[in-house]
Homo-oligomer: A and B are copies of this chain.
Amino acid sequence: MTSKVNYHADQLAALGHPVRLAILRFIVQGGEHGSAAGEIQSHVELPASTLSHHLKRLLDAEMLISRQEGTFHFYAADYESLRGLTNYLWQDCCKRGGKGSP
């Protein structure tokens, strides 16, 4: 119960960093097969280790899914998770049909 708040707060915190948000959007816009860490790196222009930390954070929060092909590590968005997060934000909101209804 209370763990749901913590779970989603963790996801929001994972997205609550300019670099990580940029990473997610790059991946989301990049298509279904995901993006290799190297591609992402050349997009965000950061040292490999720093990027890796951010990717791990997103992975731990279950905002990303990863897969390996040879020496390449591909990252794709976890859309179900993202959907669950946005749903949670609006849950039980505006039941009486106020102006804020989604």
On A, residues with C-beta under 8 Å from B are 5-6, 8-18, 20-22, 24-25, 28-29, 31-32, 77, 79-80, 82-83, 86, 89-94, 96, 98-100, 102
Contacts and interface: CB of A to CB of B under 8 A. Distances in A.
Given A79-B94, A90-B86, A98-B32, A9 B5 contact: no
B8 A12 contact: no
B9 A16 contact: yes
B13 A9 contact: no
B92 A79 contact: no
A29 B98 CA distance: 12
A31 B94 CA distance: 7
Contact of A17 (B9, B18, B92, B94): B9
